[in-house]
Chains A and B, each alone.
Chain A
Amino acid sequence: MSDIPGPIGDDELMAYVDGRLPTQRAEAVGSYLAAHPEIRERLSRYAEQRQALRAAFGERADGPIPRRLRLTRLIAERRQRRRRRFAEIAAAILLVALGGVGGWTARDLLFPLASLASAPAVGTIMADALAAHRTFAVEVRHPVEVDAAQEAHLVQWLSKRLGRPLVVPDLSATGYRLMGGRLLPAGSGAAAQLMYENGAGDRLTVYVRPGVAGEASLYQHDKDVGAFYRADEGLGCVIVGDTERGALSRVAERVYEQTFPGIPKHDLAPQREKNG
């Protein structure tokens, strides 16, 4: 009477529980089970287990990904290690080369080069960041392009457009929560703006621009807003807000820590002097 093509094996029972059998075969197992209630009983326990395991593991909130597992950080550390190794080798070669030549000649030769390499358009970046802040921080309906609810998408999208992994700093320790971000034109490339808000409704923005040469650190106050600027690792980063300088500096520190994980902490305190 049974027209089951071939006997039902244990593997197929497993695949039945996991919904991995082709329809035809699943039907065959179905009718086999109708005739074998004790096996059907066992399989329904398995199916319950399956559901419950998924629920139990799915239920526990994974929580935010800790900093040490952030890829941008791991990548930066790798790069740092490699750069250090390279610098050591280069320094060794240079020392050998300098052995023959007079020290001062080398100094004259090297200095102009060094200053040339560190000529970032700080002014432009600052101006762009401030303009972007003024334009969007006052927006009521469309402050951001992509909402914080889609943070993963935001990161992926902006990273792709910037051509390097974007870190979205977690500023919860300073009371600021991410609202979202947007993409902005910047010279021939692109920049990203992330917006944060605290419980009092104060907003601040983090402006990130890739392709910046050299290292620099700066604070600027312009009418109603203050801005901390930092360039390193090929990235320019500006924190803009109308909060008082001390508070903004604490925020900036958090941002730097997360954006430039390769830099020792004591080097990260934002600029305290300059045209306060």
Chain B
Amino acid sequence: MPDHPAAQIEAHIPGLRRFARQLLRGDPERADDLVQDTLERALSRWHLRRNDGDMHGWLYTILYHRFLTDLHREKRRNAHHRSTDVAVDGPEVEGQQEAALIHRDLLRAFAELPEEQRSVLFLVTVEDLSYGEAARVLGVPIGTVMSRLSRGREKLRRYLSGERQPVKAQLGKVK
């Protein structure tokens, strides 16, 4: 069976997990829940997928929809939802200290961005989606992708040029 879903979906699982973790900052358990949901959904809608071979985009779209649905449900539940969980789910600071510190600052800054900008930046830079693909996944026009990208990048630049020193200095002076 060349058309078996498992073989085609399997390769995308690591990417889906990355995307989910990015969306649910610092909660890998919930991120995997989201991925599991996505996979179940993908399997049940397998026959509905468009046959243009864009498995990547299709799966990411399902995941993002699930994410938004959950988010809205959650928001409705606790009326004054305030996202306080800006825990930075960064890579372990080991080995190359310098690179790790820069990464940590960057990821912290990245985590401060609004979700829409983070998602665009993530899909375009980390996952290498084209602007058109990113627009389809996020369900917005391509122009919106471009403006979110531009705003996200600029915000990140400002944040990093202002914030990088303190974090580094503080850690550097520990005796």
Contact = CB atoms under 8 A, between A and B. Distances in A.
Interface residues of A, number: 40
B149 interface: yes
A13 B146 CA distance: 10
Interface residues of B, number: 47
A147 B26 CA distance: 34
Q: Would you call the interface of chain B mostly helix, strand, loop, or mixed?
A: helix
Nearest to A66: B32
A165 B3 CA distance: 12
Nearest to B39: A74
Interface of A: 10-11, 13-15, 17-18, 20, 42, 45-46, 49-50, 52-60, 62, 65-66, 68-69, 71-72, 74-75, 78, 152, 155-156, 159-160, 163-165
17 contacts: A10-B147, A42-B154, A49-B156, A53-B106, A53-B110, A54-B125, A56-B91, A57-B22, A68-B32, A69-B17, A71-B5, A71-B43, A72-B6, A75-B5, A156-B10, A160-B4, A163-B1
A46 B124 contact: no
Given A56-B91, A71-B39, A75-B5, A14 B153 contact: yes
Contacts of A69: 13, 17, 32, 35-36, 39
B99 interface: yes
A152 B126 contact: no
6 closest Cβ pairs, A-B complex: A165-B6, A56-B103, A71-B6, A60-B91, A11-B146, A59-B91
A56 B156 CA distance: 15
B23 interface: no
A155 B106 contact: no
